[in-house]
Structure 1
Amino acid sequence: MALNTFYKVVIGVAVAVVVILAIALPIALLCCGDAGRQTLGLKAIPGENILIKEGDLDSVKPYVEKMTELLKPYMEMPNKKEVINCNSTVRPQGDQVCNYPVSSLSICGSSTNFGFNGSTPCVLLTLTMDESFRPTPYESLNEVPKDVPRDLRSDMEESLENGKLRKGIWVDCNNEYLYTPQPLFPDYYYDNVDAVGYLPPIVAAMFKLTNKKNEDVKVECRLWAKDIDSADERSKVSFTLRLNGE
């Protein structure tokens, strides 16, 4: 029995939709990946180009809001039963994840608007890893390469416990800085990265722009560990700070 014109049109439209989806879906996946998956490596919040107008609170509002939004899930962590307070000997097991106390951000926290109200803005650094990107921590100062920045080596020396370095991935930014709580992503935060509710640790870096008004301050932050490849884009992040004023 021959199909009438109406059914031919319906079938034609259905076939066209299937063809379009077959072409568009792989392209979309290739372009955008898994929207729910966190990007691996070192990241800087609030972004790549940070412009502050001295005395103009509206100019920093978007940055403050973005950083405040980042911290919201961290503030909710203590209320969840699978969250524990970790350290070098207390580590997450099973479904447990490590709590990250936002109070450890100190002067780079939300109570100070992350330093954006003045000339000392903070940038929040996070490090997300899985099995495809798992650098090995240094065990002692003897394993630290000679080209490690001098200030970072000093921080490492101050962290020594019985002659051993604190285990984790170190980070250093090529400019004036103040790190809080310290320039280290502790290794116990990466024991259970696939657990539900997991959040990566944060290191805050404060930059002093008082004597650098009206100039672009280019910053690169880099990870330091045994098997870090300096060419690996996941191991570093760059951004620019600028304070416009009189």
Structure 2
Amino acid sequence: MAQEGVGYVNPNSSGPQGGSRLRRIGKSICNTEKGEFLGRTCSSWVKIGIFYTVFYACLAGFFALMLIGFFATLDERAPTQQRMYSLIKGNPGMGFRPMPNVESTLIKFSKEDNNTYQPYINNLNNFLKVYKAQNFSLEDCPKDFQKDLTICQVNMSMFGPCTEDNNYGYDEGLPCVLLKINRVYDWLPKPFSANETGLTGDEKNRFEQFISPIRKNIPLSSNHITVSCEGENEADEDNIINVEFYPPSGFPYRFYPYMNQPGYLSPIVFARFNVTQGALVQVWCKLWAKNIKHHKNDKAGSTHFELFVDK
């Protein structure tokens, strides 16, 4: 223990040196002799306050001008980047329902247990609500492209057995999967025909795939985007007994181009699957047109999901 001797000063003491330290701290905050507060005089604080007020006002004004200039380049109806200048390069993808869990692409159920397939039925019903509500006020358009931006009616009677009354086939072990094309502004499909000539490169390769034996029983139509569904692998192909499409011709051209029309409804197609029960089937559904390319990784022109119909 240190001895208190000559020259020792207790730091906690309120004596002369302890008081001097507190005075120095107080003086550094407010120096009445020099008229300073925190090391600056009143005029110095006024000057620096004016400087930063003007600086941040100019910065805010510059940012506001940049925002005004940016929003002046935007169109409320049309995207700035379109077709080959957009991220998707004018190549539409495809989505599917039911998908009650957005993190999973597996459709798994047992036809003997309605608790396993009821979430899929509910998901399809919720998706189709807008179609059932608005169909009566829309027009039954002609078969060709729409040049006057008419909102066309989706014919719900074309879905065959894939209806709510039939539980979309899930109680029979024949599930219906709803397919839809993602919206691409001002995009028009270029159809394949049964006797294409003069094709080269990618278009020729896609056409050869299009008329392959897998798709021989799919009807060709000059005013529809044809759709096909097949197994991703040979084993998956073996486990797909049959696929039926409603409507059978695919997606009608009369819904294109999409120009962000208010109340627009995307066309939909139901695929009804008959697959081997107790086997996991990986399905790859594709759209077919001259200007649609397919890629598994980014789902270009296609969609992937898995089917498992339990025994």
What is the TM-score with the length of structure 1 in the denominator?
0.72
1:173 is aligned to 2:229: yes
**CA shift in 2, pair 1:223/1:135, >3 Å:** same
Aligned to 1:27: none
Question: CA-to-partner distance for each residue in 1:107-139, whole Å, 9 max, x for gaps?
Answer: 011110110111101100011232375442224
Larger Rg: 2
Give RMSD over aligned pairs: 2.7
- In 1, are the aligned partners of 2:168 and 2:176 still within 8 Å (CA)? yes
- Name structure 1 gaps, 5 residues minimum: 3-36, 160-164
**Could you tell me how far apart the structure 2 residues matched to 1:123 and 1:179 are?**
10
- In 1, are the aligned partners of 2:109 and 2:309 still within 8 Å (CA)? yes
1:125 counterpart SS class: strand
Aligned to 1:153: 216
User: Displacement of 1:103 after TM fit?
Assistant: 1.9
The number of equivalent residue pairs is 200
Aligned ranges 1:204-223 → 2 under 5 Å: 204-209=270-275, 212-223=276-287
Q: Which of 271, 290, 293 matches 1:229? A: 293
**Could you tell me how far apart the structure 2 residues matched to 1:86 and 1:69 are?**
25
Pick 1 or 2: higher relative contact order, CA cutoff 8 A, min separation 6: 1
Q: Which of 120, 142, 155 matches 1:87? A: 142
Q: Which of 109, 112, 119 matches 1:62? A: 119
Determine what percentage of the aligned residue pairs are the same residue: 24
- Name structure 2 gaps, 5 residues minimum: 1-41, 46-78, 80-87, 100-104, 198-205, 231-239
1:220 counterpart SS class: strand
Aligned ranges 1:12-91 → 2 under 5 Å: 41-47=93-99, 48-80=105-137, 83-88=138-143
1:114 is aligned to 2:168: yes
- In 1, are the aligned partners of 2:106 and 2:306 still within 8 Å (CA)? yes
- In 2, are the aligned partners of 1:93 and 1:192 still within 8 Å (CA)? no
1:129 is aligned to 2:183: yes
